[in-house]
Amino acid sequence: MQRRGKPTWVPPPHPRVVPWLELLNKIAQSYNLVPEFEIIATGTDHKPETNTLAMFVTIGSTEEYWMRLDAAKVIAQLVWEGLGLGGEPAVGSWSRAVAKKKVLLGIGDGHYATWHMYIVQ
């Protein structure tokens, strides 16, 4: 299986990325995970390859970090607040009526999001 993306190709940027990065940074700081964890955006340099607007949020790059409950709580809070599930306004527009598009929230899977790609393809 190919592990690298197409040379010189990246998916279109998602308009919700910057506000979600700002929210992620705020939440991670409240858990005292910064600067241990860097809150960064990276280009998609490997699979999954998609032409659909996409945003992937991961916890570190090694098993040592993947097992961190505090980091997982930060991601859970990001989703909770970002989607407006606690009653506050969502970060960005998630209304299907506005975008006329479905939204997929995939949780888990490996680095290459194999199972999620079965749904979006």
Domain ranges of the chain: 17-120
Which residues are registered as beta bridge partners of 46? 4
Peptide bond connecting 7 to the previous residue in cis, omega within 30 degrees of 0? no
Note whether 25 and 62 are within 8 A (CB): no
pLDDT given at position 61? 78
| Residue owning tokens 């409950």 | 69
- Tens-digit pLDDT profile for the chain (121 aa)? 444 556 666 666 667 778 888 999 999 999 999 999 988 876 655 555 666 666 778 888 788 988 999 999 999 999 999 988 989 988 876 666 665 666 677 777 766 677 777 776 6
Burial class, 34, CB count within 10 angstroms (exposed 0-12 / middle 13-18 / buried 19+): middle
